[in-house]
Structure 1
């Protein structure tokens, strides 16, 4: 038995086989070939296999996410049949007498560069598509796997760390838990684990090796320990611990339908944070009062090009309808920093957390922002939908947002498309600047939602993704709590409500403190709704 100590990010016990997340490991070399006809046939065979894979993906996506979201796989099939693309590959193979891998990689680079340099946003989006389909063909030609996408049985996912674009590809119904070598408590792997209500351990270091792939393992999410090849005694102890944990969760289920009210009668709304339509079941199952944060950027992370207005409208409408009149707060696009999307073609930055991200992208690339706002205002007709804007630092930004909203509403009206006019608007309080001007901001909007992950990062000047700084990162820091208190006082002074949608909202040690501050809402991962309700009901 191998025992590896890490850091727990979500409690519980998980027992199953380890599966290491495999990334592409292929080196494309230029090689001279003597038979161009044979090499071209080799490419055609790989292309045919890629088309078959895309057809299967289309059928699967059709069932999982609907026709609008599945269309991308049809587009990719069409790209593989594009004459210009095919002629370029054939020409390189025959004229330069080189291998198919080199010809595909060169064509992909040339076409991606050509699309990326165009002024049209749609055509720029094709750059990521041509790379994606070419990577699929190269995987087949090189005989490598493209990462854990097909999981034959439920397993514990092991990796160095996982990017948001990688976590969205996983078959979440088969993920028993996460074990990563690196990462912080605020990494996307950690947030995903909390959303999915599954145990996760991070920071296991180099001891977690791919040589353990396929071995039986146990995650103890309470102590942060990973056991590989556990002995019988450890396995029995962990099975008993898991049974007790499930029993505890069953007791929490008895709180469903109860109010979030303290012993002294103070009420507070408890909502859920989600990133996908597939999380809706967890929201309803855990009896959340609404959705306090829908991370719309996952629509962009899951796509290989900009999601269309219709794609977004279908998702927002489904969320609004499913919540049947309960509040649904959708955060506009929050790309940048640690959430990178290839087709946005963002430059590499020295300090991405302080860089071109979130509302800054939306206000400087209004065509992207307008598409999202049109979808949101149309979907608002079907439920109780509110919109909030991330990374706000000035009143002028809010006024600019309102100008763009007015343009969007005028366009929808002129086109005769139904939309809701009086949608509740809010801003996220994530920067010290927003806290300091919160009284002025409160005059412009209907509500505040405190993003404590970023607020802590910016207040303490600590990169929350840097695990070397974990000992310095203190979300309970008096300065952070003072910031939240100031924002709450200023919101209430202007008659507006305020909530928390960051990870701190689920910190049961601070629940009583937040109640004293008079916070109106706490939004947490669906799995934490009932534990938070229990804590609220115990408070005086």
Structure 2
């Protein structure tokens, strides 16, 4: 048997697992179109409704069976799947297709799901795009129940194993017993999918997006998972086994060490403080952010409230959602970003024509300014929530002064409305903008005079700055956070904030990568905001460094003309400064992936 078969995927949950494989037979159902007669319509509709009912019962059973307190705060994910099963677009459209096209229920469901998937695939934001996996999970469950296929449960696993599957739903993950499931790998999936988020909450190493794992792994095969680097090794040799056993011991030691950082200040050895905050999209995520040491929310994504629904949320629903996040995070501030969508039809109330290039079209603040009624409603809800704690408003994708001034004028109009109606709100609420385009970078000094803080969205900034679509596999390798142009752009924004005397933060993926912590510190960022599990890791780097060292590092990095040269220098420096934290291969993988 061939030894050391190495697969490369996406590190979805950090850690190293070594064990025998358990192959979960969860191949994607492929429905077949079948024409039916008019007399069979009622029978097909009944079968569809029965499948919906059974699916709901299964998900309710999963909720009832969750005992791990770390998962309890994520039960909203199952609630989301239950809501999808009640969605009129899913249920009514499928039934309508059965009646109008005289087709079987499975095929009608497939066609309805395909419409959902097209919408999600067009979404620019990776985090939101990965919400498509929820649609896929619900759809797969429905299809299995329609054809009577077995819903194999991980709760029945009897031995310690590494689970291997084409895909895993959040319900599958919630049924995992950490004493039995020591890790998992899947053919599909992404870092921000709910299954990956749950794995990180449980502390189960996971690698996803391997494409061909289920085709290569046999039941009981020895497997090594490195969830940090995204590497999977099948049938490891004795030497490889020993190497990864040592890595596993080192990783677990460092993880124990991280526990001591959660309550400590993010302060360098020479006394420079930086604020670490969390990125959230639901109220339930606030508790996790607080436990990991977040001093507020640096990015509250409001898009989730608008997704998978037939009607946009009204003012009261938005107000209650924002208020809950604000009250849970009090006394720390919550930065609420206004709706950041592209040319994607997320709700039926909003009818946007297809755009040839949605990334450069009607999106983010452009969309909000055009949809005045929707924007007014959201601003009213945010302002009302500001009466219950510290709230900051963040406007996405500002490209010029005219946009920010229009936003400020509208905000003042809404304040006047609320005051006349007798509502309480923070009249001095702070306003910030997201720097995500080259135009915003070039006039950052002008923009900084208009607002209370700046927040850099590196995901889009890198994409626009380097003129590449990171979702396009042909050019994704050009997506380089360490490109000299990107570093200079970030430096310009920080200097603009310093000149205006306002805070500059970063809420993109760069903030969550410990490898970049010293770079961002040296560039001059005041705030880093990231998904909660990464907070202690970044804090550890900050507390073990000096700001003077970070300034020297940035000065050196800015002398190079190419991303590989910058990456090579950074790799060498971080390995030398933090040898126990950054193994060489981990650094190389992080730099390559970025």
Same fold at TM > 0.5? yes
Work out whether 1:359 is the aligned partner of 2:361. no
Find 1:311's aligned residue among 302, 310, 317.
317
Work out whether 1:28 is the aligned partner of 2:33. yes
Deviations 1:395-419 (A, max 9, x none): 1111222233234334433444433
Alignment of 1:107-146 (within 5 A): 141=146
Work out whether 1:13 is the aligned partner of 2:16. yes
CA 1:505–1:90 in structure 2 vs 1: closer, same or farther (change >3 Å)?
Answer: closer
Aligned length: 502
Map of 2:375 onto structure 1: 369
CA 1:135–1:355 in structure 2 vs 1: closer, same or farther (change >3 Å)?
Answer: farther
Q: What's the TM-score, normalizing by structure 2? A: 0.69
Q: Distance in 2 between matches of 1:518 and 1:431?
A: 19
Map of 1:101 onto structure 2: 105
Work out whether 1:384 is the aligned partner of 2:390. yes
Q: Distance in 2 between matches of 1:213 and 1:331?
A: 46
Q: Distance in 2 between matches of 1:201 and 1:149?
A: 20
Deviations 1:5-24 (A, max 9, x none): 21554642246756587666
Map of 1:424 onto structure 2: 430
Q: Distance in 2 between matches of 1:53 and 1:44?
A: 14
CA 1:404–1:100 in structure 2 vs 1: closer, same or farther (change >3 Å)?
Answer: same
Deviations 1:163-206 (A, max 9, x none): xxx9888856859767565788x8768995897576454563x4
Q: How many Å apart are 1:315 and its aligned residue?
A: 2.6
**Residues 51 and 146 of structure 2 are in contact (CA less than 8 Å); yes or no, is this contact kept in structure 1?**
no
Find 1:405's aligned residue among 407, 411, 419.
411
Find 1:323's aligned residue among 324, 329, 337.
329
CA 1:103–1:8 in structure 2 vs 1: closer, same or farther (change >3 Å)?
Answer: closer
Q: Distance in 1 between matches of 2:266 and 2:377?
A: 37
**Residues 507 and 530 of structure 2 are in contact (CA less than 8 Å); yes or no, is this contact kept in structure 1?**
yes
Alignment of 1:171-190 (within 5 A): 174=176, 179=185
Map of 2:570 onto structure 1: none
CA 1:449–1:172 in structure 2 vs 1: closer, same or farther (change >3 Å)?
Answer: farther
Q: Distance in 2 between matches of 1:473 and 1:332?
A: 26
Q: What's the TM-score, normalizing by structure 1? A: 0.75
Work out whether 1:300 is the aligned partner of 2:306. yes
**Residues 432 and 455 of structure 1 are in contact (CA less than 8 Å); yes or no, is this contact kept in structure 2?**
yes
3-state SS of 2:386 partner: helix
Q: How many Å apart are 1:32 and its aligned residue?
A: 3.7
Q: How many Å apart are 1:248 and its aligned residue?
A: 1.0
**Residues 432 and 455 of structure 2 are in contact (CA less than 8 Å); yes or no, is this contact kept in structure 1?**
yes
Q: How many Å apart are 1:447 and its aligned residue?
A: 0.4
Work out whether 1:501 is the aligned partner of 2:504. no
Deviations 1:398-453 (A, max 9, x none): 12222332343344334444333222111111111111111221122110011111
Q: How many Å apart are 1:26 and its aligned residue?
A: 2.2
**Residues 326 and 390 of structure 2 are in contact (CA less than 8 Å); yes or no, is this contact kept in structure 1?**
yes
Work out whether 1:516 is the aligned partner of 2:522. yes
Deviations 1:296-354 (A, max 9, x none): 223334656533433332332222111121122122222237x8736455544433322
CA 1:228–1:90 in structure 2 vs 1: closer, same or farther (change >3 Å)?
Answer: closer
**Residues 506 and 528 of structure 1 are in contact (CA less than 8 Å); yes or no, is this contact kept in structure 2?**
yes
Alignment of 1:445-464 (within 5 A): 445-464=451-470
Q: Distance in 2 between matches of 1:242 and 1:310?
A: 49
CA 1:393–1:145 in structure 2 vs 1: closer, same or farther (change >3 Å)?
Answer: farther
3-state SS of 2:261 partner: coil
Q: Distance in 2 between matches of 1:454 and 1:191?
A: 22
